[in-house]
Amino acid sequence: MLVVAYDNRSDIEIEESILEEIEDAMKRTLLHREIGVECEISYSFVNADEIKELNATYRGKDAATDVLSFPMHEDFLYDRVAILKENSHLPLLLGDIVICVQQAVAQAKEYGNSLTRELCYLSVHSVLHLLGYDHMEDDDKSVMRRIEKEIMGDQ
């Protein structure tokens, strides 16, 4: 159902058990959104300097952030049927996820979460972006947050 190509360019080693939890969270997201085809995601762990550079280049924001998502299909949410039909014989390339591990560690401490839980949440959040969800408008933000909570099992 899901092929993930991991790349760790951060200074922090990510244990195999954490990768398994992340992958499980991404699979739950795809199942929740009823994506019933094999999908492929490129997933990179980076340091604060690299994500700051990416954020400046692609979003015009000169600051480090926790996660960036680069969807392969900008209109997936609205053109889902056509995109799935066009890609029915291949794994569906969803896009790239880039996570700053340093930021995830800081956020986990701030929110009282484990690093595993924080990385899983950021992964669910990113997969939703790859599927076309965003949080630019309040209505869209509330929809996205509700879906994240359902997938993560939060009340």
Higher-confidence residue of 76 and 119: namely 119
Q: What is the pLDDT of residue 77?
A: 65
**81 pLDDT above the threshold of 80:** no
DSSP conformation letters of 8-25: E-SSS---HHHHHHHHHH
Distance CA 38, CA 82 (A): 16
List the domain range (segments joined by +) for residue 79: 2-152
**88 pLDDT above the threshold of 80:** no
Higher-confidence residue of 36 and 101: namely 101
Place of tokens 């085809």: 37
Residue 135 in marked binding region: yes
Q: What is the pLDDT of residue 121?
A: 98
pLDDT tier, 155 (very low <50, low <70, confident <90, very high otherwise)? very low
92-100 sheet: strands from edge to edge: 2-8, 39-46, 92-100, 67-71
* CATH code: domain of residue 41: 3.40.390.30
**16 pLDDT above the threshold of 60:** yes
- 10 Å CB burial of residue 120 (0-12, 13-18, 19+) is buried
Q: What is the pLDDT of residue 78?
A: 62
Evaluate whether 123 touches 25 at the Cβ level (below 8 Å).
yes
**What residues form DSSP beta bridges with 97?**
43, 69
Residues 137-154: pLDDT tens digits? 778 889 999 999 999 996
Residues 111-124: pLDDT tens digits? 999 999 999 999 99
Distance CA 149, CA 146 (A): 5
Residues 50-71: pLDDT tens digits? 999 999 999 999 999 999 999 9
- Structural domains in the chain (count): 1
pLDDT tier, 3 (very low <50, low <70, confident <90, very high otherwise)? very high
